[in-house]
Amino acid sequence: MNLPNKLTISRIILVPVFMLLIIPIPEWVVDSSLLSFAHSQLEAINFFIKSYGNYIAGILFLIAASTDWMDGYIARKRKQVTNFGKFLDPIADKLLVTAALVALVERNDLSSWAAIIIIAREFIITALRLVAASEGIVIAASKWGKIKTVTQIIAILATLVRSYLVDVLLGFPIDKILMLIAVIATIYSAYDYIVKNAHVIKQDM
């Protein structure tokens, strides 16, 4: 297995680690009589997650997101582009962002509307690419697609370290503003892809 594919797989492996760091163990588990022997340890784990989990998860998220650029760059430079990589890379990208969004919604740190808009965009564009591929057409990544990705990563990171940012910025809701920008970029990115490639789905209308 070549290096780009290893980086892609590492991005997938980081997803459950990321989730464990930002979602505390449910209280019903901590207080379960079956686990009473480990009650203090479970409480200590939750204290660590609530105190430091967001910051460690933010670092892991940034590392995982950066491997997306790295694996593509290395694959092109070393001419190691493979079908396995083409299959796995978009899955790893979407899994990472979707996991972060779902976790933030579960913690009430993010509106479910923002999450569903971002996730729905991925379904729509993936379906468009599949239809295009069946016709032998390759839909390349656009400038707005890249802008969408960058704004989403920044917004998710800002939401993860929200408590720190709120203290530094004296209550200014920078995380919510950045997420709004990400949602707008996501919507426009979908519009841009659909308008430029509408011919793909209009052929049999």
- Average pLDDT by consecutive 10-residue portion of the chain (205 residues)? 84 91 90 90 93 90 85 79 78 90 92 95 89 78 88 92 67 87 96 87 65
Looking at residue 121, its pLDDT comes to: 94
Looking at residue 148, its pLDDT comes to: 93
Looking at residue 147, its pLDDT comes to: 93
Do residues 97 and 118 lie in contact, with contact meaning Cβ atoms separated by under 8 Å?
yes
Contacts for 58-62 with beta carbons within 8 Å, 24 or more apart?
58/157, 58/160, 58/161, 60/14, 60/17, 60/18, 60/21, 61/18, 61/96, 61/100, 61/153, 61/156, 61/157, 61/160, 62/153, 62/157
Do residue 83 and residue 20 come from a single domain?
Answer: yes
Do residue 81 and residue 124 come from a single domain?
Answer: no
The total number of structural domains that make up the chain? 2
Answer yes or no: is 100 within a domain: no
Answer yes or no: is 97 within a domain: no
Do residue 123 and residue 74 come from a single domain?
Answer: no
Answer yes or no: is 35 within a domain: yes
Looking at residue 140, its pLDDT comes to: 74
204, burial (CB in 10 Å: exposed 0-12, middle 13-18, buried 19+): exposed
Q: Which domain holds residue 63?
A: 1-88
> 119 vs 3, 154, 157, 170, 184, CA distance in Å?
28, 16, 17, 31, 13
